[in-house]
Every structure is written in C-alpha cells, then in structure tokens.
Amino acid sequence: MRGCNAMCGRFLIVDDSKLVVEALLLVLEVAGMHGIEANSCSAAKQAAELGEFDVVLLDIHLPDGLGLELLPLFRSKQPQCPVLIYSFSTRPTHLARSHSLGASGYLVKGLENQKLLAAFRRALAGETLWTTTQLDTIAYAAHANYMSEIVSAD
C-alpha cells in the first residue's frame, strides 16, 4: 500500500491484551485503516512471513517473549515498514534498545485517539516518531552507563 494517502494503511498490531487490540482496531477502522492482530511473538513471526504491512505496532511484553526481539525480523522482512513500539513502559533501557534495534518510534499506551491517529499518519508518511525528550533520555542513559563502566574499571 505504499504511496496511499495518509488515511489508508495496513497495520500489524502485536499485543497480547485483547482490550488494547480491540480499541486499536476500532480507532483504525473509524479512520479508514485496517489492522491485523498477532497476540504473541510466534503469531507475529508468522504474520511477518505471510503478509506485508504499512506499519507494525509492537508491544514489548508478550506471553512467549519480548517484542523487541522481533524488531530485527521486521527490519529484515520489510526494511521500509515503520515499526512503532507501543507499550506502557517508559524505562530508559526499553527506549534505548528500541531505538538501537531500528524502531521508528515509541508510543506510550494511553494516548488520546487523535494523537494516536496523528502518529499513525506520520508513520505512514515515513516520518520517525522519536521525540526530543525520548532521544535525550536515551543519550542520558547511555552516558550514565558509560560513566558507570569507567568507575567500575578503576
């Protein structure tokens, strides 16, 4: 669906919460977009092998593993497809790992529908969604880790 206007898109939603998935599917449907559900790492791997998506929404914690471990698979199968992390976690380590593995952005669950749709449209347009605050957090965490390594080496 590359080249479609910002109102269409095929999303893969990788999340084990039925409530979250149903809410996202409804938001997408109302906006004229389509979503496919995968509720585990194994289901997401199967979806990645069988389909093409315009955007992947990926939760971190899944019943059979970490969603972050799927980032390299999605990057290799569809390098141009944005993968957005969609999680309640705001841990700097999750932000840093998501960024280093090639996620196009990190959305914290609980966003208002209009902000969520705006993020989806930006992802469909090929924009990265990392905020300055998130990038600053990643840089600070990297610096703190580097400093702790220096101290422990002494």
pLDDT tens figures, 104-132 = 999 999 999 999 999 999 999 999 999 99
Question: What value does the mean pLDDT take over residues 39-65?
Answer: 95
Indicate which CATH number applies to the domain containing 17: 3.40.50.2300
Bridge partners, residue 57, by sequence: 13, 84
Taking the C-alpha atoms of residue 62 and residue 17, their distance in angstroms, rounded to an integer, is 9
Give this prediction's pTM: 0.86
Our count of domains for the chain comes to 1
Q: Cα-flanking dihedrals φ and ψ of residue 32, to 5°? A: 80, 20
Domain that residue 86 falls in: 10-153
Residue 3 lies in a domain: no
2 in a structural domain: no
One-letter identity of residue 65: G
